[in-house]
Amino acid sequence: MAKIKSKNNGTKKEVIVEAATRLFREKGFKAASMRDLAEAVGVEAASLYNHIQSKEELLQEICFKVANTFNQHLDTIESSELPAIRKVEAILRFHIRQMLEHYELVLVADRDWKHLSDPYLSNFHNQRRTYRKRLAGIIEKGIQTGEIKQVDAPTVVLIMLHAVNGIESWHRSREKISAKQLEENMVLIMIEGLKA
């Protein structure tokens, strides 16, 4: 029987999570089966249960890995001495780079988190809501200091995050600008548009 081959000193579970991420991105969480996943890692479906309990456990790993990454970055930026507009720019650039460099992971977490069950569903939903409020709070401080135009901060957050999610179409495009050009264009449009 085939064994799961780990790469770069990673664990077998990490190999499974990586394959699941790719599979969930391609088929969606609901449509992807454990048999599909077993085929992707080159083992029998029953062998997967030596490393994971369920398909949902994999989704939990993906979602909370992404949430933790974004929250840790926000903690760092929020506590920095940067002016508010620079904080927003740093957060936007981080989102863009995550979508460029860890596209499948971020996309699956953003699209499939609704398939989690409680308490994970509520936890993840609360983390998303809190993250957006914290980001809106940075924008509101920038409005108060006169760095940022008088805008509705939650609307800015919504537009910004949806624009970053649109990078999915850049990944699928055959004729596209470079990742660096994409990042600079998005920052130019969104950050310059916010400046007072």
Per-residue pLDDT of 69-118, as tens digits, reads: 999 999 999 999 999 999 999 999 999 999 999 999 999 999 999 999 99
pLDDT tens digits for 169-196?
898 888 889 999 999 999 999 999 999 8
Any idea where the domains of the chain sit in the sequence?
12-48, 56-194
Beta-bridge partners for 148: 195
Chain length of the chain: 196
At the topology level of CATH, where does 56-194 sit? Tetracycline Repressor; domain 2 (1.10.357)
The span from the CA of 140 to the CA of 104, in Å, is 31
Q: Which two tokens stand for residue 172?
A: 């699928």
Distance CA 120, CA 172 (A): 31
CATH 1.10.10.60 fits 12-48, yes or no: yes
The single residue listed with the structure tokens 């989690």 is 116
∠108-52-116 over CA atoms, to 5°? 40
CA distance 43 to 172: 30
Q: Say what the pLDDT of residue 3 is.
A: 55
Q: What does pTM read for this prediction?
A: 0.88
